[in-house]
Amino acid sequence: MSNATLKKSALVVSAHSADFVWRAGGAIALHHAQGYDVHVVCLSFGERGESAKLWRKGNMTEEKVKASRREEANAAAEILGASIEFFDMGDYPLRADKEALFRLADVYRRVQPHFVLTHSLKDPYNYDHPLATHLAQEARIIAQAEGYRPGEPVVGAPPVYCFEPHQPEQCEWKPDVLLDITSVWDKKYQAIQCMAGQEHLWEYYTRVAQQRGVQAKRNVGITSSRDIIYGEGYQSIFPRVTEDLA
């Protein structure tokens, strides 16, 4: 079996161009360091609803905002070690047609991810987020279907993890995975600092990472030698299949 066949990969489906940084930047950097090819799909640039600082500058157009957000996301992805592409589907509202669904299914086929990261299934504060999740889920199903583009390699059953929403309690999001990102926190924070259009969130997501780090440390036990400081939380959609519960 060739090295190319053995290569592991991951897919991140992000509603807006900064979401993957705040919510999954640690996972991306960590798995890149482990040899994964991580690919990010940004469904929109967040040009309307998540770029207030840019619009307040005045003399701004939607195309200028998109260009700025693309530049930020490209820089962040490079720091984290991910490849990235932009669907430019618009935001507030984000809407998907069949062509967008098939386009994402084609990404699944191309990437052949070993796992997928995307948004929570519910978010009453931002309807773009669950739409992105449902699109990611449906595209996964289509990519598994033998009758879709017959002759292409189908996708297996990669686990799907929902990363942390801004207000988890209202989104009915409860983490069942706590990921230790201490070793790559510097990379994540560098990527966070690329998001100049949303500087007000830099320290917020630093505090989130510290809180999840505390919880992760407690869950491995106070006698553990692991010095966990920063973490990310994830909620799995599908059950884990295993022969070992340790």
What pLDDT band is residue 2 in, cutting at 50, 70 and 90? very low
Q: Is residue 241 part of a domain?
A: no
Q: Is residue 219 part of a domain?
A: yes
Task: Output the pLDDT for position 246.
Answer: 82
The model's pTM is 0.95
Each residue of 165-189: pLDDT tens digit?
999 999 999 999 999 999 999 999 9
Q: Is residue 246 part of a domain?
A: no
Q: Over 80: is that where the pLDDT of 56 sits?
A: yes
Q: Is residue 242 part of a domain?
A: no
What pLDDT band is residue 221 in, cutting at 50, 70 and 90? confident
The answer to whether 22 and 192 have CB atoms below 8 angstroms apart is yes
Structural domain range at position 70 = 8-234
Task: Output the pLDDT for position 1.
Answer: 35
What pLDDT band is residue 110 in, cutting at 50, 70 and 90? very high
Dist. CA 132–CA 91, nearest whole Å: 11
Is 157 exposed, middle or buried, given 0-12, 13-18 or 19+ CB atoms closer than 10 A? exposed
Number of domains the chain contains:
1
% residues pLDDT > 90 (the chain): 89
CATH number, domain at 107? 3.40.50.10320
Q: Is residue 149 part of a domain?
A: yes
Task: Output the pLDDT for position 197.
Answer: 81
Q: Is residue 200 part of a domain?
A: yes
Q: Over 70: is that where the pLDDT of 81 sits?
A: yes
Task: Output the pLDDT for position 223.
Answer: 62
Q: Over 50: is that where the pLDDT of 132 sits?
A: yes
CA 226 to chain centre: 25
Q: Is residue 222 part of a domain?
A: yes
**Residue 209 tokens, joined:** 């990472």
Average pLDDT of the chain is 95
Each residue of 198-212: pLDDT tens digit?
888 999 999 999 999
